[in-house]
A and B are shown apart, each in its own frame.
Chain A
Amino acid sequence: MTARQVLQQADIARALTRISHEILESNRGSEGLVLLGIPTRGVLLARRLGAILEDVPVGSIDVTMYRDDLAKNPTRAPSPTDIPAGGIDGKTVILVDDVLYSGRTIRAALDALSDLGRPRAVRLAVLVDRGHRELPIRADFVGKNLPSSADERINVRLSEIDDSEEVTIL
């Protein structure tokens, strides 16, 4: 079985541009926004959104220590958490991830956020929403809704760290 491409480079760029406009629209400007990417590819997407939105601080938030499946998998190496200098207290935090699936990563990210401060609001932006939620979580900004079956694999590749730039389904 071969992987089928569902988004190519131009589609990803268009989706991110649209998401950035939607963020500005819902927030009525860029006032008080903070973009926090979830490692690994969420951080890259957050940086790209930050480049489009220009004066919005960008950081990363590692959720490894907050996962509910730590005991079920081999030990995971954490990634750096990097909160922009202004902090997150009173800010509107946009969490950014590549694929929204069970919702458990986002649950962990919300827990991690509450240990770092108290944002005014938290929103979620994802490149791909593939459904199959296991928790009552939904995304505010979605690049593409991609109905999938649970045994399919969605792969997001970004040129910063991968040798291609695309979203595929296998």
Chain B
Amino acid sequence: MRHLLSTKDLSRDEAVAILDIAEDMAGVADREVKKLPALRGKTVVNLFFEDSTRTRVSFEVAAKRLSADVINFSAKGSSVSKGESLKDTAQTLAAMGADAVVIRHSASGAPRVLADSGWIDAGIVNAGDGTHEHPTQALLDAFTIRRRLHGPDARGKALDGVTVTIVGDILHSRVARSNVWLLTTLGATVSLVAPATLLPVSTAGWPVGVSYDLDAAIDAGPDVVMMLRIQAERMNAAFFPNAREYSRQWGLDDERAARLPAASIVMHPGPMNRGLEISANAADSPQSTVLEQVANGVSIRMAVLYHLMSGSDA
């Protein structure tokens, strides 16, 4: 594997292999020396054209734990704000000898362009492109689910038979798209719940069930409920009347959270809008995996960087 652009490209075996590597990487956080020498002398460039805290920091920590050199590059305060094109930026980074580029861009497909263009001979990791995909988020979600379900025996296992309900703004969510492909590949059954206005025009060809009623979905007792963030920056049309109405119909409030089976887990990719898509109690309950997801993000990104950058095929 040379690039990680989409979870659609991942085979079941590849996905399980990455989750297993992440399982080994997770142990590094508990050690005295929180570093492995695997990527010594390699350079990872974090190329962020869109704001991000947790993803960028997570990738930075992951690369540093593997002893790679990390260069952070954000569009603000760089030549991009002077009008430099993606091509020129990529060629500049190539000239500086980047071995991998972690890219976040507001345009769907930007990482693919970078990977296919020949402008730069580095491994490309998609860290979120427009409303397309966010593969490492889906991998860390799958990792979190697997760890909650199987505990220490998780190695080698997939997610066969697990039911996952993804709730909220599917239309704009790259997290939802990446999760749909990955979780299905791993054997889980995915259903989407959203207001009709926040679903893509067509979900034909998606291996999912679609419904509009969160209460019915909760009463079905899914193993996992994944709440998506209402992205204020993308709410550029009248998708729902107002926040209170959204919250009443599609938010995970205390009453709905209480109706979930005790073994179900509640996930959120962060940052959360408490009181909008998820109530504070639901977010802080023992069923919530929000903080685990952040911690697991580092392990998964270490696994992805190791997978892409070590080895003669890299």
| A positions within 8 Å CB-CB of B | 62, 64-66, 70-81, 111, 114-117
Q: How far is the CA of A106 from the CA of B281 in the complex (A)?
A: 51
Tell me whether A65 and B37 are in contact (CB under 8 A).
Answer: yes
B306 lies within 8 A of chain A by Cβ: yes
Tell me whether B32 and A74 are in contact (CB under 8 A).
Answer: no
Q: How far is the CA of A75 from the CA of B33 in the complex (A)?
A: 23
Known: A111-B37, A115-B31, A115-B32. 9 other contacts (CB 8 A): A62-B24, A65-B306, A70-B38, A71-B314, A80-B155, A81-B27, A114-B33, A115-B36, A117-B32
Partner of B36, one of A66, A72, A73, A75: A66
Tell me whether A73 and B33 are in contact (CB under 8 A).
Answer: no
B residues 250-282 touching A (CB-CB < 8 Å): none
Q: How far is the CA of A78 from the CA of B313 in the complex (A)?
A: 17
B202 lies within 8 A of chain A by Cβ: no
Given contacts A77-B17, A79-B24, A81-B27, contact A71 B310 (CB under 8 A): yes
Tell me whether B36 and A65 are in contact (CB under 8 A).
Answer: yes
- List, in ascending order, chain B residues with CB within 8 A of A111's CB: 37
Tell me whether A116 and B37 are in contact (CB under 8 A).
Answer: no
In the complex, the chain A residue whose C-beta lies closest to that of B310 is A70
In the complex, the chain A residue whose C-beta lies closest to that of B24 is A78
In the complex, the number of residue pairs spanning A and B with C-beta atoms less than 8 Å apart equals: 54
Q: How far is the CA of A79 from the CA of B33 in the complex (A)?
A: 18
Tell me whether B312 and A74 are in contact (CB under 8 A).
Answer: yes
Tell me whether A72 and B33 are in contact (CB under 8 A).
Answer: no
B121 lies within 8 A of chain A by Cβ: no
Q: How far is the CA of A66 from the CA of B20 in the complex (A)?
A: 18
| B positions within 8 Å CB-CB of A | 17, 20-21, 23-24, 27, 31-33, 35-38, 66, 155, 306-307, 310-314
What is the distance, in angstroms, from A118's C-beta to the closest C-beta of chain B?
Answer: 9
- List, in ascending order, chain A residues with CB within 8 A of B21's CB: 77-78
Q: How far is the CA of A81 from the CA of B307 in the complex (A)?
A: 18
What is the distance, in angstroms, from B308's C-beta to the closest C-beta of chain A?
Answer: 8
- List, in ascending order, chain A residues with CB within 8 A of B66's CB: 65
Q: How far is the CA of A79 from the CA of B21 in the complex (A)?
A: 8
In the complex, the chain A residue whose C-beta lies closest to that of B37 is A66
* A to B CB contacts below 8 Å, 30 in the list: A62-B24, A65-B38, A66-B36, A66-B37, A66-B38, A70-B310, A71-B311, A71-B312, A71-B314, A72-B312, A73-B311, A74-B311, A74-B312, A75-B306, A75-B307, A75-B313, A75-B314, A76-B310, A76-B311, A77-B17, A77-B21, A78-B21, A78-B24, A79-B24, A80-B27, A80-B155, A115-B31, A115-B32, A115-B35, A116-B32
Instruction: Choose among A65, A70, A72 the residue with the greatest number of B CB atoms under 10 Å from its CB.
Output: A65
In the complex, the chain B residue whose C-beta lies closest to that of A79 is B24
Tell me whether A74 and B24 are in contact (CB under 8 A).
Answer: no
What is the distance, in angstroms, from A111's C-beta to the closest C-beta of chain B?
Answer: 7
In the complex, the chain A residue whose C-beta lies closest to that of B308 is A75
Q: How far is the CA of A75 from the CA of B18 in the complex (A)?
A: 11
